[in-house]
């Protein structure tokens, strides 16, 4: 049968590997392997600078390769890279570019440390919190540098996830991006119990979701006889509503919905966002969301378009529930990181409402939204990473994340508070920020497709969400000192080596530029808003 083309290309003497097209993924994964060797062989003192330079260079090189391909997509798009394991679609290229951009900004925040030389990670992740061993490690000045190879492996997985050409590659990429993140979530320097709890929850629920993805892949393989996405798409037009196929597709979507944090598979998001070290939260919130939406887009647009009429009601329900739940529960949060976690859920709903229209406009809107949301998220969590508690003797402690501790921040650290306000305004979708352009593009696509329920829910949720973003701005700028001193002391901006400030500045610049003059970037996005059809 023509459709039953195998992954194993047994008659060929070898599979041609298009190194240039795979370079963005391979550079990052190669650098990750080198970084592991650096951990083993480079002397302790030199390790940190070497790791930082290596990882930043790798992500920059990978991002530039992707940008080069995205500027001349017709020369590079191909659905037969590395056999048939990788499909380099224009939309996937755009996702790769967005992942590389956010990962670079995220890395800057991760690599930063205070002028006292304290980064966000525990010196010895294996030590028991509060033990003598931990104390010794801290006093010996040990530095956690395992973070960099882990971040590179995760980034490599994220770059591969949206371009995977078969379900097996997709599953492996999913695990390559997830496993390092489970570990990274548990490495916070302060509040280690919370961090370990986040790590365990993320791991158990993440592994549970990947099992669903895998079982779904098995059923799809059973129904179509192949794991290749195009072959599956071809069989789908033949088979139509085959129950085995439908069950498989739904299980795959469950796995992907978990990764993007859509209701009802969102329950890990608040705990993990709150517990993980803040720079990791920023990296994960931006890059995982982009990469997972990339994979979801690929499944929805190039595999199941023949089932879209049947799937639309379910997808609409998920999008509406996600928007409503994220917004409503976000309103009552008293912790800044937790509030941004619920905001992340709501944003997943906004992005979904664009892409479930299955139109080019919806795809363009969702892609643009993903890019701008990722950049602003890294910037926002970068600010949170800098706002620390100060105890009575003036020692810096962990991050001040309770909303009470942010009272009057506009007077203590006006620049940081101002930057954070801009990020909140873009999350709220206020005109002249990139968030407004993204929301406008997504909702106009929904209305254009006749999805009034989606568009109206989206608008209502945006209005409610704006309330809790503005509340933070009011707390920062217009509220006096609290009557009772906040638990843990008030937050204040900490002095660091300046890498986070660079990341925040770039994120802020992108947010404002794409908000004021979005036209050229929307055109660029639109030029990449399609998938190659077999």
Residues near other proteins (CB under 8 A) are: 4, 6-8, 125-126, 128-129, 168, 171-172, 175, 179, 182-183, 186, 192-194, 196-201, 203-204, 207-208, 211-212, 214-215, 217-219, 221-222, 225-227, 270-271, 274-275, 338
Distance CA 409, CA 311 (A): 47
Output b/e per residue, 238-263; b: 16+ Cβ within 10 A: ebeebeebbbbbebbbbbbbbbbbbb
Distance CA 459, CA 478 (A): 27
CA distance to 60, 168, 392, 437, 527, per residue, from 89 (Å): 21, 18, 56, 24, 12
Nearer to other proteins, 191 or 439 (CB): 191
DSSP 402: B
Identify the three-state secondary structure at position 397: strand
Which residue spans within 3-96 are E strands per DSSP? 78-81, 86-88
User: Residue 139 in contact with residue 124, Cβ under 8 Å?
Assistant: no
User: Residue 441 in contact with residue 522, Cβ under 8 Å?
Assistant: yes
Distance CA 520, CA 534 (A): 30
DSSP 79: E
Q: How many CB atoms lie within 10 A of CB 12?
A: 9
User: Residue 416 in contact with residue 381, Cβ under 8 Å?
Assistant: no
Distance CA 487, CA 65 (A): 48
CA distance to 246, 291, 300, 313, per residue, from 249 (Å): 5, 19, 10, 15
Q: Compute the CA torsion angle 261, 267, 271, 273 (nearest 10 deg).
A: 10
Question: What is the layout of strands, in order, in the sheet containing 491-493?
Answer: 396-399, 387-390, 491-493
In the chain, what is the greatest distance between 2 CA atoms, to the nearest angstrom? 78
Distance CA 223, CA 240 (A): 11
């Amino acid at each position: 049968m023509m459709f039953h083309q195998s992954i194993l290309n047994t008659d060929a003497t070898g599979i041609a590997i298009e190194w240039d097209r795979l370079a963005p993924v391979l550079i990052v994964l190669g650098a990750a392997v080198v970084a592991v060797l650096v951990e083993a062989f480079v002397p302790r003192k030199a390790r940190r600078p070497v790791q930082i330079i290596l990882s930043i260079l790798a992500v920059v090189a990978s991002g530039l390769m992707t940008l080069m391909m995205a500027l001349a997509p017709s020369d590079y798009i191909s659905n037969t890279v590395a056999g048939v394991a990788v499909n380099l679609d224009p939309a996937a290229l755009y996702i790769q570019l967005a992942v590389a951009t956010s990962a670079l900004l995220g890395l800057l925040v991760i690599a930063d440390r205070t002028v006292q030389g304290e980064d966000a990670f525990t010196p010895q992740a294996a030590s028991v919190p509060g033990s003598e061993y931990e104390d010794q490690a801290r006093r010996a000045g040990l530095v956690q540098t395992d973070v960099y190879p882990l971040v590179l492996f995760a980034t490599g997985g994220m770059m591969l996830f949206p371009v995977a050409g078969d379900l097996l590659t997709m599953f492996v990429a999913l695990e390559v991006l997830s496993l390092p993140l489970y570990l990274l979530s548990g490495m916070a320097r302060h509040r280690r119990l919370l961090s370990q709890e986040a790590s365990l929850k993320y791991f158990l629920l993440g592994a549970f979701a990947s099992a669903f993805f895998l079982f779904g892949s098995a059923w799809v393989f059973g129904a179509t006889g192949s794991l290749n996405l195009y072959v599956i798409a071809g069989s789908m037009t033949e088979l139509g509503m085959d129950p085995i196929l439908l069950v498989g597709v739904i299980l795959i979507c469950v796995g992907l919905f978990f990764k993007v944090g859509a209701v009802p598979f969102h329950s890990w998001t608040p705990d993990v966002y709150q517990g993980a070290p803040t720079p990791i939260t920023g990296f994960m919130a931006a890059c995982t969301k982009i990469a997972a939406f990339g994979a979801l887009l690929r499944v929805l647009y190039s595999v199941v378009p023949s089932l879209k009429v049947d799937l639309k009601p379910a997808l609409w329900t998920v999008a509406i529930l996600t928007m409503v739940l994220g917004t409503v529960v976000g309103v009552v949060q008293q912790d800044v990181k937790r509030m941004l976690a619920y905001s992340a859920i709501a944003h997943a709903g906004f992005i979904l409402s664009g892409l479930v229209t299955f139109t080019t406009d919806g795809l363009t809107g969702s892609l643009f939204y993903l890019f701008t949301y990722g950049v602003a998220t890294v910037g926002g969590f970068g600010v949170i990473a800098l706002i620390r508690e100060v105890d009575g003797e003036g020692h810096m402690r962990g991050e001040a994340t309770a909303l009470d501790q942010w009272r009057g921040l506009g007077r203590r650290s006006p620049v940081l508070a101002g930057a954070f306000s801009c990020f909140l305004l873009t999350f709220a979708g206020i005109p002249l920020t990139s968030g407004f352009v993204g929301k406008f593009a997504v909702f106009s696509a929904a209305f254009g497709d006749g999805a009034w329920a989606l568009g109206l829910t989206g608008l209502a949720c945006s209005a409610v969400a704006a309330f809790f973003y503005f509340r933070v701005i009011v707390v920062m700028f217009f509220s006096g000192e609290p009557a009772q001193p906040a638990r843990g002391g008030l937050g204040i901006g900490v002095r660091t080596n300046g890498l986070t400030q660079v990341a925040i500045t770039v994120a802020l610049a992108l947010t404002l530029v794409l908000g004021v003059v979005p036209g050229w970037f929307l055109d660029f996005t639109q030029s990449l808003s399609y998938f190659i059809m077999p």
